[in-house]
Structure 1
Amino acid sequence: MARTAGPALPAGVKLLRKRIDYWRRTRDRRTPMPVDLWDEAVALARSGRAYAVAHALGVNFEGLRRRVAEAVGGVPRASPSAFVELSGTEIIGSASASGAVVELSDGAARLTVRMAAGVELDVARVVAAFRRREA
């Protein structure tokens, strides 16, 4: 099955890519990309095609997605490739006397919450707080 092309990228992507490439050629090694370039990338990505924009600009998708979420004041959603395993028995209440365990990981950090049997936990709030933390 052939792929179908999505909507065209927002105007200005090619020009911003040229500016980013110029910055990369002239920068000191290991310096972060200037805020003004990120701000332009965020504005372009808010069209709803963040992955396509990140790919066209040659920037990290997760970094761009995080900045877009921060710009709108929300918590970034999990990317389609993110893995989340939540067992209903662990969340709703385990029949086990040992309790439940919730583990979160984003590659850079890991959080493990072990709860005694009968303890309630708002898993959604824990996940949101974990994703909002300073990396």
Structure 2
Amino acid sequence: MLNHGSTHPTPEPILELQRQLEDFRSSQPGRMKLPESLWQAAVELARRYGIYPVAYPLRLDYVGLKKRLGEVSPPDRQKAAAPAFVELVAAQPATLEACVIEFESARGAKMRIHWKATTPPDWTNLLHAWRETEK
């Protein structure tokens, strides 16, 4: 027997369980719950062949079979080992900008500031403070 939409023949173990299920279903009036032994056989086959290739020909609920299978995760993949050493590269310090600020009052007083910092100076406040001392 072929799977629906497939050219691959249904494996013999699935065909055997299919016959058992047909015997069970034909001997029961109406819809009865499947015996646990049949579910277990389907779960074992699903582990080997996959959920859909088992559920479809056996006319089993895909989601129910998946739940019974315990949603087996894919084969364990080796996770990358955590690094034993991590190098932290510090950011390069900002370049220091240099500037010279010169003030000269009407009376001839002079002030010269050599400013070397990463932030520009607040020269307006410097000028205001210098003028206050001139009074």
- In which range does the TM-score fall when normalised by the shorter chain? 0.3 to 0.5
Give the structure, 1 or 2, with the largest relative contact order (CA under 8 Å, sep 6 or more). Answer: 1
Structure 1 length-normalised TM: 0.44
Structure 2 length-normalised TM: 0.44
